[in-house]
Every structure is written in C-alpha cells, then in structure tokens.
Amino acid sequence: MPGKLKAKIVAGRHLPVMDRASDLTDAFVEVKFGNTTFKTDVYPKSLNPQWNSEWFKFEVDDEDLQDEPLQITVLDHDTYSANDAIGKVYIDIDPLLCTEAASVISGWFPIYDTIHGIRGEINVLVKVELFNDLNRFRQSSCGVKFFCTTSIPRGYRAATVHGFVEELVVNEDPEYQWIDRIRTPRASNEARQRLISLMSGELQRKIGLKVLEMGGNAVVGYLQCFDLEGESGLVVRAIGTACSLEKLSSGSILNTHTHPNTAPASNACNSPSKDGKEPVFGEDLPSSSGPPTPFRALPTSSSSPPPPFSPSKPCSRQSSSSDTDLSLTPKTGMGSGGSAGKEAGPLKTLLRQQTQTALEQRQEFPFFTLTSFPSAFLLHVGGVVNARSVKLLDRIHNPALGNTRSYKLLDWNSVTADEPETRDAWWEEIRQEIKSHAKALGCHAVVGYSESTSICEEVCILSASGTAAILNHRYMREGCLDIGSTDHRFEEPSPPTCGFCHIPYDELNMPFPAQLTYCYHCRRQKVPDVLFTTIDLPAEAAVTGKGCHIQARLCRLKKKAQGEVNATAISNLLPFMEYELHTQLMNKLKLRSMNALFGLRIQISVGENMLLGLASATGVYLTALPAPGGIQIAGKTPGDPSNEQHILTIQKRINDAIAKNKELYQINPPELTEEGVGSPIPEPRQRSRLFRSHSESSDELSELDLSHGKKDAFVLEIDDTDAVEDIHSLLTDANPPIGFYSCNTETMPGIYNWTSGIQMFTSVRILRLSNTNLTNQGLNKIFTDLCENLLKSFYFKLRSMVPCCLCHLNFTVAVPEEELIQVAVTAVAMTFDKDQTQEKLAEKLIPKGGSDTDEQLQFPLELCADSSNSQPSSKISVSSLEHSSPLPEGRSRSLRSSRSFGGSSVTVVKMTPLSFLPGTRIIKYLGIINMFFIRETTSLREEGGVSGFLHSFIAEVFAMVRAHVAALGGNAVVSYSMQDCVLMENPNKNQAQCLINVSGDAVICVRESDQDSLASTTTIGHSCSSTTDVTT
Amino acid sequence: MSVELDVFVGNTTIMDEEVYQLWLDGYTVTDAVKVRMEGGVLDECEANADVVLSDTMDQYRTFHMCERLLHSPAKLANQLLYQITPHRQTILIERYYAFDDGFVREVLGKKLSKGTKKDLDDISAKTGVTLKSCRRQFDNFKRVFKVVEELKGPLVENIRHHFLLSDKLAKDYAAIVFFANNRFETGKRKLQYLTFQDFAFCAGQLINNWTVGAVAGPDSFVDNMVEDMDVDLDKEFLQELKELKILITDKDLLDQHKSLVCTALRGKTKTFNEMEANFKNLSRGLVNIAAKLTNTKDVRDFFIDLVEKFIEPCRSDRWTAADMKLYLTHYTNSVHILDTFKHQIVWDRYMGVIKSCIFKMYHD
C-alpha cells in the first residue's frame, strides 16, 4: 500500500442552472479514483455551493497513482429522475508524486463537459502521502521527473545524458467499439478521454521505468503523440531523452568538484525520500568496468513490458504494408568537419570511436530529443537526417488470440486492437534508417530528434527526423560528474562559436558532394557551404545579422486509391516532394543571403487526393560558413532576345530582393582579414569557391538528382515550369512588416534583449477547395497564400506589440477531409528592446542561461537561483517525511500572493512554447501538463459555426491548462505545445467534434528584479536546510 | 475556394478597442471592416482586406462570447475562460455599459418593459443609433434596474459595486433607475430641450435630498438597510411639503415675502420690474408644485410643472441665468426672515433641490 491520495471538495461557483423551475441547482460531487467512489452531500438550491467536504481518502498503489487521474464529477441531484451530470474534472496526480514538484493541488478548476464545454468551476484540494516501500519500483516509476522542455531545464545540471527512451501503448478506440452505437456521445467522449488519460499515464510510467533502469532520474524533451488510427485503434507513443539531472546550487557545485560520487547524498534532487531516487544513484552501473552488453538499457526484468525492439522480432504482420524504398528518402546532410583536424586528429578520432562504441553499445539508438545543449556538449553537426515510410494500417482480425494486453482499469473488458509490437517494429525500422544516415555522415548520434505520423484512412506515413551530430562523450559516461574538471586534455578544443559547424565526416570520403572551405571563423577546419539542422542555434554560435523564418510549401495531387496501390502511389511521390521542398528551402535561404537553417521541420500530410508538404526553419547567417552565392536565372534557349530580356528582369528582381534582405536582416559579414593567425586558406581557392557556388551545385541530394538530372539547384532555368513556380514563390514571400521578426526556433538569432511582453496564441485556418479540377500549381498557390495570409494576420493582430518577434512559429498541416486544408499554428510573440547593440551579445547567455554549465559566467546567478529554488523544501521533507511540511507551503503561499494580480482573484498564468519566459527566472518545475480533451456539439450553428465552436474550445483548453497550473501553485507554462487538433464537422447535421492534446511544463517563475526580495523570504528555509544537513 | 474556419485565440485575450466600439455600436462585420479600412488600418502592418476581415470576425466572435460575462461584470474578474488584464476588464465593462445620450433621452422615465422594447426600432430610426446598440443599451438599463430593485442600501454604491462601473457612469445609471422607478415625464415637447445630463443632475439632487436614504445620511448604518431607500421619495417629507402652502395662502406672508425679495433685488437686475410683477405668480407656481407632490401623478409631472410654472414665464421675461440665480437665492433666503413661517427645514430641503434643478434646466 504505497500511497494515500486525499481529496477535499471545497466549493463550486458559476454553476449552470439545472432546474428551470427554480433557476437553481442542487449540486453534489462524486470523487472517483480507480474503482473507489466517494460522494459529497447535496448542496441544495445554489449556483455557488459550499460543500466543504471531509477528506476523501484513497489507498492505492503508486502504479495506479501514475496511471490514473483523479476523476471529479459534478452532478445535479434529482429526486425523481436520474441525476444530471454537470461536468467533470480530471486531475493528473503525477506532479504530487515527485518531491521536487508540487506538494498540493489546490484551486479552482473549470468543470468540463464534452458537449457543453466549461460549466462553472469547482474548488478542490488534493494531497498525496507516499509510504516508504522497499519494493517500490516494481511497476511504478514515481519520482522520475518529466520535462517537455527540449533543453536541460533551467536550474538543473545534466550529470549524465543517458539517451533515447521510447514507448508506445495501443488500445482499441472506444469511438469504434460496438458499444458506441448505443451509448450517448457524452459517454463515448468521456470513455475516450479517460482511456487516453490512462494510456498516457501508463506510457509515462513505463518510460519512467526505462529511465530508472538506465540510471537516470528525469526525462527531458518528452514528446507524446496520439495516432488516431480509427478502426485499427489508438496508439499513444512517446519519446524522450533520459538524463540524470542535478539541481544547481552552490552546495552541489562544490560537492561535485570535490566528491563527485557522494553528490547524491547532499543533493536536493537525490533526497532519499519516498520517491527513492537514492538507490538509483547508489546503483553501481557496470559500464566503467567492462564493456556493457548490447541492449543493456532495455528492460529485461520479467515485470517490465516486453522489450520494444528486439532485433530478432519478425515484422511479418504488416505484410500489406508497402514500404517506401527508403534509400530513396533523402538524407539531407550538410556537413561540418573537424575529423581531419591536424594536431588533434588521431587522438580525437580515437576518442570519438570510444564515444561511439560506448554509445552504441549502451543503447541501440543514440538519439536525443533535445534541441539545445549545455555548452561543449555538441561537438560537430553533420546535417539533417530524415526517414519516412508508408504503412497500411491493418486491423488485427482476432485480437483475442494475439498478444493481448488487457487494461484492468478500464470500465469495459477490452482487449488491444493490435499488438504494440507491430508499431514498435515500424518505428524501429525508421530509427535504424536514421541511424544509418547519421553514420553515413560520420556521426554517432542524432540530436533534435522527433517522430510524427500522418494518417488518412488506412494509410499512415511515419516520419522521423533529426540532426546527425558528434557529441562530447563526457556527458554520456555514467557517473560522470566531473564537469569542469580536466577532461579537456584530449581535445584540441574547437572554439565554441564555430566548432559545431566543422564537418564530422572525412573530407576525402564525403557522403555527398559538398563545397568545403576552411572555417571562416577559426580557419583551422573545414566547413560546408550550407548547414541544415533540426536543433536550435547553439547559444555560443557566432551569427551575423538576424535570422528569419523560412518556409517551403508544396501540394501534390494524387489519384484516389485504396490499399496497397494508394500506399505505393504515396511512397512514389514522397521523394519528389522532399526534393522540391529542399530546393525551395535552399532558394529561399539564398534569397535571404543566409547560409544555415535551424529548427528544420518537414511535415508531409496525406489526404485522400493530395499530399501536403511544409518545411519550416529559421535561416541564419553563420559567421563560420562562407557567404552564400546568389541565384542565377538561366534560359534554356539562349539567343532569343525577348526571352533574354525577361530573364534579365527576373534576375534583377532577385538581385534586388537579395540586396534588400541583406539590409533587412543586417547581414554584413565582416571582411576577411588576411592576417588571421595561421590562416591556411589559399587566396585563389577561396575565390574559386565563391565563384563556383554561383554555378555549381552543392546540393547534397545526389541520390535524388534523377528527378532533375544534373541541373544546378541554384541556377533556375526559366523554361522549366517548376522553376517558374519556384521563382514565383520566392518573390511572393513577403518579408515581415517593419518592427516584426519571426522564427521557428526558441529565440531569434540576433535578438538578445527581450522585454517581458509575451503573447502566446493558437490559430487554426481551414480552406475548402471548391474547384475540383485543380492543378498542382494552382494548389501550391492556394497553399502558399494560406500560409502567407496566416502570417500576415498574426502581424496585424499583434501590431500593438511592435517591436516584437514571433518565436517558435509552429505550423501543422493536415488534410482532414477531401478538399479541406487545415493549418494550425502555435507561437509566441515576444517584445524586445529596439535599441540593442552588439555589445549585448555577452548578455545573451543570461536568458538562455540556466542550463549552461559555464560556471564562470553562471556561478553568481546560479547562486541566487539556488536561494530561491525549492531545495529547502525537499531538504525538509527528507527529515520530516511530511509531504506538505508547513514551511514550503507557507512559502508557496507567499509566492502566490505576490503573483496575484491587483484585485483579481484569478492567478495570471503565462504560457509559452519556449523553455523560458523573458525577464523571469524559473525557480521551480511543478511537473508536466499533458491534457487531452474532446468537445462535441450537436448545435453547431447556435455556437457560431465551426469557427465559433473551435474558438471557444481552444479558449476552454487554455483555461483548463491555466487552472491546473495555478492549482499546482504555478504561474506559467513553458514548452507548451498543441500536439493534436483534430476537427471533424458535419454542418448538414449541425454537428462537429474536435480533439485537442496539449502539453507543457508547469513552472513557478519570478521576475528577475524580484529576485532579491524573494531571496530574503527563503533565508529561513535555507538556514533550516543547513541544520537538516547536519542531521542527515 | 473558401475559408471554412478561421480562428485566433491568444492566451491573453486580444481585444482591439476600435473594433469593440464598432461592435458595441452595432455595426455588422462588413460595415465594421469598411469603417476600419476607411480609418486607415490598411496602412498598418501591410495589411490587406482579407486580413482586416479575418481580424474583425475574430474580434466580433470574441466579444460575442464575452458578452454573457459582461451581463454580470463581477464574474469577469473571477472567470477562468478568458485571461483579460484588470485594466482591460475595466475598459470592457465601462464601454459595454456606456450609452448614447440621444438614446437614453428617449427612454428616460419610461417603464423598462417589453412594450418599450418594441418601440426600440422607432427610437433607433429617430436617434440614428443602430437597433442592435439600442437593444444592448435598453437591456443594460433593464438589467441594472432589476438587480438594484432587489437590493438594499445606497443606489449609486449598489450599482457601482454590482456592475463595477465608474462613479460617473454609476450615477448616470442611478438617474436612469430613479427616473424609471418614478416614471417622471420627460418626453413632452416642452421638455425636449433638456438633455440627459440635465435630468441626471436633477435626479442626483432628488436622490441626495428628497429620498428616505437622504435623511439617513451616509453614516447611518441602521437606515442603510431600508429597501428602495434611494429610489422612492421620502413620503413623510412630501406630506410636510403641504405645509408650505401657507406661503401663498396667507396674504400677509406672501406680501412680506415679496417685499423682502424685491428690496434685496432692487437695482441689481435689469429685469427687476418683471420680477416684481411676476412674483406672486412664480411663488404660487413653486409652492403648488411642492404641495401636490404627494400625488404620484404629480410627481411624474414634476419636471413639466417646473418648466411650465416657472422656467417658461421667466424665459419669456428674458431673465438671464444670473437673474435667475439672484432671484432664487433671495427668494429662498428671505423666507428665513419671516418669523411667522415655521417650516424652515422643509423649505430649505425643498428649495435646495428646486434651486439647483432650475439652475441646471434654465438654458435654451
């Protein structure tokens, strides 16, 4: 009996009128966890009931605590007929299971009904008491922290980055069960919401188990997705990066320097409290003594789920799947070097091999979902690798005979629709593909890794992409806590400002033709002429001017087909789409006079009669890379004077655009000074390179050249219809209006002095294509206009924030129905100080700071972060074992009051897709927010049509996220994202249904200027903690 | 090709004040877009017509969804659905409850009933305020009326507290409620020259001096709990007003009063002769109004009586505002010297209000 969950129902407000006669409601509440239900008394005739219930206590396994949500149902008592449900609140208990996160959940929650939306609010108090249990990690993984943030969370330090963790669970979709024909839409939606909540709880617990087995204590860059496969089921899958995190504090830094291995004992996050991380840390992992066996990271104990990718597993089930010829899928890679570094060459290679083997032996997939890293973690970046495959979703005919996994917690006795192994095998294939691409680029790891799917009827496109890279082995070794010590001896350190650009592959044995030059920054090693990555721009990278959002958009019609024919048609189209998207990106990059892309995300969405491709990235001019050449227009029939004239005008327009962009983005690369120490660049070579880049392809997509022959990517032939289209799209892309910048990465390269104004938003637009006989070109134009108009709308809406930058612009495209194109965007607008000077460059580490291990710079700051972080509270809980000891609670209360907005009783909760809030410091992570909602209506017209319906639903989702964060004691959500927004409508029936899945990290943050006052309030806690230190 | 769906939702609800005003004024989306474009919104941010249309529709939708909350503004502050800064909330409420003087002038003193609501299209046509906006304003009046009707305590305070309005707006609403409750006649042709602000001022005077709440005074807690204390006139006081009749029925008193006033006024105004000639008429007029106020019907005619019995005669004699001030001051004060007159307190309470009302109402 490892846990006791306690809940108290305090009051309700703004309840809907349930009794027309009295205009009042007789409300009572059911509190359910697992199979236990408690009820409050009926509070008669009130829209603002005060139940003030007793504490309802549930004695449960911690496994259940992780899987199950607390379910609160508000009902209207009816003497003569059945009680009417007003709505429900699901509360995820997970944040309470981790000592470092929240200690109590208390606040007003919107009461949500899937048919009516939010109907009033309810005030609830929830606490958890976990008991010490020697056998505590049988099935549960309480205490493993989850972060959506794709960097090391602020205030933490990564002692070890263990690597990739993944898991998926499959179930039958309640919406497609026979019972759905007889139950109400409300019951069906609730069954679905509950199932998904259970599945994601289970998924998280399983991932947690894997992390514990790897010796980690946290998952960073946790990304969970749903695949609504319709008839064939529901897949919930997640990937993340397992880490051993340590709270940054003056104490821990000292400790790590002196006794790295005793650090856990004195470290806040390793407090040997009920979550019991101590044994994990004490565990002596065998890696140091002998070569670990392959797959040792995989769960092997009998109680664990079956190993997800045992290589021997036959993939015979998906006989009908038509596999894309994966060698055709582009392996986008623009390399950077370093392997041929003269002085450190042999040693480095040796080291890398060590790292590589260590990595490969320890885990099958050396992937990292992180997009930004502690300094010196990322050594070299090879380029983007991606893989796609087309699968046919096939219903398993006799699930009862298969490998069934029943969900004991479900209301009905269900069996899984499909073995998760089938899906596992699919993903394994893709990951292998990615891994081999990375290898071809001379890299041993993939960073900024992500996976996605696009499903249309029974066809599913699985995609994975990442950036091939070479990582610093120091972070990968277990028990390696000696950051900042003398581990640099092997390496001839590349300057951090350009090191990551240096090619990781062998110059003589390049995986693709590329133009290499000596690095423009250090002049010592080779760099490619263009670099594409899926990660954020490293904080220390040298950049010239500002960055900009670059998007390539593409539509391709396809014939309607069924089954394998359809799958084959799609897989045949894919490489061409990727190639064209890539060409577009390259052209747009050149047009902006930039040489690198960060945060590249290529989505391909499948519909019944078309494929949509959208590639978004942030273009930058990396100082280390050569200046990009221009774009040349060539005619196929030289000599024709009218044609010549036409080409000249277009060429002029392009040149003008390039010049204008250079000015706009302030790209004035410093002139190369020839006295650079030991510059090995021979002058003529440089010339020729610059010259050649105009005329010769450096396109790495050599495998795909079959589509365009030997044509140069940067010489656009005007006779070619595709080229006309390209030029058209090049020149129609409008730059943001004055005062605006935009990017899809965390922050805008070149802007460092953010002010505190932020506005997160979600926008959805759906176009109906009424014209049935559209051409590819026409479709492209429509799609491009759709994206461009969305951006224009954002700029217009947010014009009062100027100067501002739209950050983390995340476009998601879908083809929800034939002839419909849906684009959903989530982004944040952030204001910045216009009068920024280049000297501010040094300060840029501060907003990005927290995670850096750069002690020199960070030490004083971390010191004050420490005084304000939650260390004291966890220290106390060590000694008292009382989860909600009075002191931390008192402190959080004082925080809450300082947060509360003058007079208003509602806590202001900021939301951002970024990992930080400008002008503030995150002092505590309260846990992950992962919510799934369904909303349905049978009165679409009355709710203002689909727009009105979705508008209020999105607003409701925001409200529920904010309420949960506020109840945890938080005041912000970072790394917020909307993974899914699936809208189905039937205007003729006046119906619509929508599913939204959102996630993020709940945090407490304080304004940087408030730091001092806060430090004083925590001094008491601090002195207490030091006394407990003595006792422990 | 058509836009099937287009939404934009901010974590902090984005509201454009200009669009809000257009929405309140009852413009359709199409008209609002036209107005915005003519207002030069296209010059900002390189927008085009589609962008403005999309933005306007979005804003309209937001306002429409928020309207429910604006009906009970206290909810706006503690609802969770929209994150709106307190400053913005204040603006939203204040603007929502703002009204057109032209419109309110038409319904002032009328019963806030369905019957009146049916006439709104006529009022809309007459005042040029869109029907939609008329309905909103009318519903606001009715809502405020209904809420304060059931509340005890000071009227203005109640309105300000329940609807979170500014002091000025709360006072205006108090006037509207007061007029609607007492059904003062304001629509007669002779009263047309008076603005809403004239009436609102007079209502304030009446509320502060002639109601039950006025006697209790702001510091008295016991009487604060009287229902309708600021809405109904003090019956006792109205009864006492009858005693003032002696000023016109007792011939000696009337003559004495006249001579006192005339002595004081002599040589101070050009219209002295007219004042002297009209004194008895005017005094009869004012005192008769006072004496009749026990009749509900006569209360309704209070303003028309003031105009007919006093303001019009003075105006035809071309009194200036200064003349009026001079006359009424001496007219009121002279009574204090009449030893035989015993109702000085009632007189002051009556004339204090009459004086300030007439000052306010005496214009073209």
Say if the Cβ atoms of A905 and B77 lie within 8 Å. yes
A801 pLDDT above the threshold of 50: yes
Pair of tokens at residue A204: 């998280």
Enumerate the residues of chain A whose CB falls inside 8 A of the CB of residue B1: 767-771, 782
> Mean pLDDT across chain A, nearest whole number?
72
Distance CA(A828)–CA(A804), nearest Å, equals 10
Q: List, for residues A735-760, the tens digit of each pLDDT value.
A: 888 889 999 998 888 888 888 889 99
State the average pLDDT over residues B16-24: 94
Asked if A737 reaches chain B (Cβ–Cβ under 8 Å), the answer is yes
Q: Which residues does chain B have within 8 Å of residue A947's beta carbon, measured at their own beta carbons?
A: 5-7, 57, 61
In three-state secondary structure terms, A542 is coil
Q: How far apart are CA A439 and CA B220, in angstroms?
A: 87
Q: Amino acid identity, residue A244?
A: S
- The tokens for A785 are 């206009």
Residue A419 has what pLDDT? 58
User: DSSP characters for A185-216?
Assistant: HHHHHHHHHHHHHHHHHHHHHHHHHHHHHHT-
Is the CB of B52 inside 8 Å of chain A's CB atoms? yes
**Mean pLDDT lowest among A18-22, A137-141, A778-782, B336-340:** A137-141
Question: A415-460 pLDDT, tens per residue?
Answer: 444 456 778 888 998 999 999 888 888 888 899 999 999 988 888 9
CA distance B179 to A437: 82
Per the model's pLDDT, the better-predicted residue between A506 and B348 turns out to be: B348
Give the position of tokens 């050449």.
A629
What is the average per-residue pLDDT within A165-187? 82
pLDDT of A293 > 80? The answer is: no
Q: What is the pLDDT of residue A540?
A: 82
| Poorest-pLDDT segment among A260-269, A390-399, A551-560, A641-650 | A260-269
Give the pLDDT band of residue B340 (cuts 50, 70, 90).
Answer: confident
- The rounded distance, in Å, linking the Cα atoms of B353 and B210 is 8
* Banded model confidence at residue B280, pLDDT cuts 50, 70, 90: confident
Q: A167-182: b or e for each residue (b if 16 or more CB lie within 10 Å)?
A: bbbbbbbbbbbeebee
Which of A884-888, B14-18, B164-168 has the weakest average pLDDT? A884-888
Decide if B7 touches A, using CB distance below 8 A.
yes
Count of A–B CB contacts within 8 Å? 148
A803: cis peptide before it, omega within 30°? yes
Structure tokens at A764: 């959805």
Higher pLDDT, A973 or A285: A973
Q: What is the mean pLDDT of residues B299-319?
A: 88
Q: Is A354 on the interface with B (CB under 8 A)?
A: no
* Residue B4 at interface with chain A, using a CB cutoff of 8 Å: yes
Q: Measured between CB atoms, does B69 come within 8 Å of chain A?
A: no
What pLDDT does B202 receive?
Answer: 92
CA distances in angstroms from A71 to A42, A127, A998, A1001, listed in the order given? 18, 14, 19, 22
Q: Residue B5's beta-bridge partner residues?
A: A766
Type of residue numbered A737 = P
CB A948 to CB B65 under 8 A? Answer: yes
Closest CA to A197 of A64, A29, A369: A64
- What is the per-residue pLDDT across A33-70, written as a single tens digit (0 to 9) for each? 988 999 999 999 899 999 999 999 998 877 788 888 89
Per-residue pLDDT band for B277 (boundaries 50, 70, 90) equals confident
Query: Which is it for the CA torsion A1016, A1017, A1022, A1023, positive or negative?
Result: positive
Q: Mean pLDDT throughout A216-229?
A: 89
Residues 6+ apart with CB under 8 A from A604: A388, A454, A461, A463, A574, A577, A578, A611, A612, A613
pLDDT at position A422: 78
Q: What pLDDT is recorded for position A114?
A: 93
Q: Using one digit for the tens of pLDDT, what is the confidence trace for A73-117?
A: 999 998 777 888 899 999 988 888 876 667 789 999 999 999 999
Task: Looking at mean pLDDT, say which of A275-284, A415-424, A451-460, B44-53 comes out highest.
Answer: A451-460
Nearest by CB to B8, from A797, A958, A962: name it.
A797
Helix residue spans in A665-811 (DSSP H): 683-695, 721-732, 776-797
Stretch A900-927: mean pLDDT: 80
In 10 A of CB B346, how many CB atoms? 17
Which pLDDT score, from 0 to 100, does residue A140 have? 65
Q: For residues A402 and B295, what is the distance between their CA atoms, to the nearest angstrom?
A: 92
Name the residue with tokens 């319906």. Answer: A949
Average pLDDT on A194-209 reads 89
Touching B: A residues 925-964, CB under 8 Å: 944, 946-948, 950-952, 954-956, 958-959, 962-963
Which chain A residues are closer than 8 Å to B39 by Cβ?
none
**Which pLDDT tens digit goes with each residue over A709-731?**
333 445 666 555 566 666 766 67
Of the ranges A309-318, A569-578, A658-667, which one carries the lowest mean pLDDT score? A309-318
Q: A450 forms bridges with which residues in the sheet? A: A465
In this complex, which of A110, A902, A983 lies closest to B80 when CB atoms are compared? A110
* Residue B56 reports pLDDT greater than 90: yes
The residue type found at A877 is S
- What chain B residue is nearest to A109 in terms of C-alpha separation? B80
Nearest C-alpha of chain B: how many angstroms from A832?
18
Listed in sequence order, the residues at least 6 apart from A100 whose beta carbon sits closer than 8 Å to its beta carbon are: A145, A247, A268, A269, A870, A874, A924, A925
What pLDDT was estimated at residue A723? 62
Query: Mutate which of B2, B13, B81 to disrupt the A interface (most A C-beta within 10 Å)?
Result: B81
The angle at the Cα of B232, spanning B231 to B234, to the nearest 5 degrees, equals: 130
Give the pLDDT score at A956. Answer: 95
Per-residue model confidence (pLDDT) at position A311: 34
Question: What is the structure's pLDDT at A100?
Answer: 67
Cβ contact A950–B5 (<8 Å):
yes
> What average pLDDT does this structure show over B257-283?
85
